[in-house]
Structure 1
Amino acid sequence: MLDANSTTAKEPITPIPEPATIDPLKVKLGERLFGDPRLSHDNSRSCASCHDLRTNGASRNSHDVALDGSGLPLNTLTVFNASLSFRFGWEGKFRTLESDIKASLESPWIMGTNPSEIAERLNADAGVRQEFAAAFGRGPDALNVVDAIASFERTLVTPGSRFDHWLAGDPAALSADELNGYRLFKSLGCASCHQGVNIGGNLFERHGIFHPLASPQPEILRVPSLRNVATTPPYFHDGSAPTLDDAVRKMGLAQLNSTLTNQQVNEIVAYLQSLTGYYRGVPVGASP
């Protein structure tokens, strides 16, 4: 467990904790469901279709594809560390992980089904019924289908980034450029919105305060987490920034009214690259 020492205790960011202790039978079942295409109405996709845990917890697409073949309106957010956010989705419409999961299942564009329909399908599978009985003491139903998925998603935290090691007191964890980037991140005002354990995810903000940033709608967004941000291009709610360099420059101008120099951008990007954590013993973005 990483603990901030006296030199970093007043920093606006805190180390990410180890995964919560959750019933392993529920977690195992939730992981199985996360990759099960029976969760979609036409059996064409699973949660993992848009949230690839082998890469970045999302995808490399600006817009993932809806069930009807059209593009989804917003860029897919990573599921890694999502449970640490105070609201869910770009617009923050959902207050609990369970309500966010249920909304995705019921969305006609994403999964096009509902927990009751899924439970009925799963009840036809004797092996799955047995797993639910072991984890919940009963077969699949609308409540425990969502509970199992949420239990698994709560384990998808990625501790151990180099920045977290620095916060915990290792002065050699960051390079000079990365430290300079973190100082700029604070002094320029980036940390006003991107702070806390998830380096974001804990407040709402209007985008394009000084200059247009990306697609004008939605106008108010939940500030995204910057955890593992180097692994999650393209950026912004419309996926319009292809690289971290581009995103940093545009954010500086749009949100801070600052035209950043090349050196400032390079150092901030270097700092952001230190935010990549570990999932199951390997860095996020590096398949086991």
Structure 2
Amino acid sequence: AERFRYQFVEALRSQDPLSFKEKFRGLNVLLIDDLEFMHGERTEQEFDHIINSLLDGGRQVVVASARAPNHVERLNERMRSRLQRGLVTEIGTLDHELRLKVLEKRLAEKRANDPSFALSRDILALLAERLTESGRELEGAITRLYATWQYMRTSITPDVAETVIRDLVQGLEPRRIKIEDILRIISRHFGVSKGDLLSQRRHRSVVWPRQIGMYLAKQLTARSLPEIGRRFGNRDHTTVLHAIRKIEGELAGNPRLKEELEELKRILSH
């Protein structure tokens, strides 16, 4: 998306927008990654025109982003709505079999240039087991092991592989979430001050975010109900329990709330 935006701006500067449009005319499939960077009124208008042109011609457009289209705040409302009309689905993490295939492909690419480099099946299985986040970590692991092999000029053992990827694995450990983090994110998400969240105010505009914060604190931290209550303005544990049950009850018939909570969890985990 960033490349799309850059090339479009350059085409406007050179007063040659038609050459930019021509790049997309004969495509069967358009794949756009990092949708978050597709911002700017004229860029979004051009992207919208290209989408319409391709779809009218029976072609496919696939867009990927870190968030669902309706949560990509840098896009205008029209573009968010436009993308929501398509099929929206979540891309999960690679399963073990697919991770192995990625590793085998990257290894084959290295061996094409240097046939003497080899990794055992056990080491590939180890990498696939330990690195579960994305293909970038898998590619990085192969690159590191190749560099290590070039330096050592001896076979890569499982112990060596463990050492080489240690920081990659540690980097994937879940972030420890604090109640202070939850208060900050809830305050920003709902536009309510931290002072209001900790106050005795009982207006719904404050109570609802506060209850969601308590629910997330119970879900994402190891704090007890009394401790959560204390951190949310010295409330007792029964107030926290009521908030948790309130949110759990709402979740049963409110898919939008479920989506909102998942989004807050994603923000807190990064």
Q: TM-score, normalized by length of structure 2?
A: 0.25
Q: Which has the larger radius of gyration?
A: 2
Higher RCO, 1 or 2 (CA under 8 Å, sep at least 6)?
Answer: 1
Instruction: Give the structure with the larger helix fraction.
Output: 2
